[in-house]
Amino acid sequence: MAEGSRAHNLFDALMKRPRLPWYRMTAVVFVVLLLLLILVTYLDGALTNMSVWRFWQDFLQTPVIIIYILLIYPFLSRLYRRAVEAFRPLLSLEEGDFDRLVAEVYVGKRRWEWTAMFIGAGFWLALERPWRFVDQWLDVYMMVTHVLMFALLGWLIYVSLAGNRHLARLNRQHLNMDVFDSGVLAPIAHWGLGISLAFIGGISLSVVFEPFENMLYWQNITVWAVIICVPVLIFFLSMWSTHSAMARVKRRELDLARKHLAAASRELKDRVAQGRVEGMEGLSSALAAWATFERRVREAPAWPFDAGSIRRLMVSLPIPGIVYAVKIFLGG
């Protein structure tokens, strides 16, 4: 999702072919899906059903989720570019060298994007086996839109995991990071949190449109359970590589402090043993300064997120369950 990889991104390439702005193209996709729904409803002679909310629950759910994915993707892409840019001041590279490093890291593998889409679509087909119930055009429409939606979900999961892998590769570079300025890598936490909230929002939206009698189907519960695990996994995977980089910096600074503390302690001990008092005041001050520095390094955070990020994630995770419980309680 980084700028340097946009040319290698399958979805970006497909959406840019009509040469329309992203959100305008998203509107076009929605209109096409809606017109197709009206057309197949007409072909089945069921136009009167469009006045019933249950009809929209059945057939508008997947188009809404597809449009939701299209709407959130530019937002997630911006968060990812900010996460990448957070590394620029931490690497001792010229601007051109940094851009080349980013381009090297983000060499896209189109076949894996297609594979992820096929896996996503195949997962739903294997779970639902919809061909058993296809006997009218509306059933075809529902099957095709579900296949498209799960293909997009598979693709979104893949690019999120691939983005996490790319950030991990940047984290493994030699970072000139101030151990007391952990906020410089906060954009990585923002990206991980954004991914998590995007998936949670999609699940909640799906539950809103799900008809009451389908709420207890094991297939739906399985899909929701799998998808709810994805944001948590991505969030903590993205945090772990950054934590490892920050922990390396802490160890480096602690080693430096302990080296100076050991040297100052030995010198102080030698001077006391030899009865030399000259320079003792300066040596004691240096010893105290290095001891203070060591304590501050030990207390410095080794994670890029703060309590607010964790709190937002923990508060948002139960939302799909709350929506589900409300629908079960209200009976629709």
Tens-digit pLDDT string for the chain (332 aa) = 544 444 456 777 776 677 778 888 889 999 999 999 999 999 988 888 888 878 887 888 899 999 999 999 888 888 888 888 888 888 877 777 777 777 766 655 778 888 989 998 998 888 778 777 777 888 899 899 999 999 998 898 888 888 888 888 888 777 777 777 767 777 888 888 888 888 888 888 888 877 766 666 777 777 777 777 777 777 777 777 777 878 888 888 888 888 888 887 777 777 766 666 666 677 777 778 888 888 888 877 777 766 666 777 777 777 777 777 777 776 65
Number of other residues whose CB lies within 10 A of the CB of residue 126? 8
40 lies in the same domain as 177: yes
How many degrees, rounded to 5, is the angle at CA 189 between CA 4 and CA 222?
A: 95
83 lies in the same domain as 151: yes
- 275-330 pLDDT tens trace: 666 666 777 777 788 888 888 888 777 777 666 667 777 777 777 777 777 777 76
- Please report the DSSP string for 11-58 in residue order: HHHHHHTT---HHHHHHHHHHHHHHHHHHHHHHTT-GGGGGSHHHHHH
230 lies in the same domain as 263: no
CA Rg value for the chain = 27
182 lies in the same domain as 324: yes
- 204-236 pLDDT tens trace: 888 887 776 666 677 777 777 777 777 777 777
Number of H-type helices and E-type strands within the chain? 11, 0
98 lies in the same domain as 143: yes
The C-alpha atoms of residue 225 and residue 263 are separated, in whole angstroms, by: 56
170 lies in the same domain as 282: no
239 lies in the same domain as 133: yes
33 lies in the same domain as 148: yes
Q: In terms of residue numbers, what domain contains 209?
A: 3-248+306-330
Number of domains in the chain: 2
110 lies in the same domain as 209: yes
38 lies in the same domain as 126: yes
175 lies in the same domain as 260: no
290 lies in the same domain as 324: no
Residue with tokens 């739903």, as numbered in its chain: 124
Distance from the first to the final alpha carbon of the chain: 38
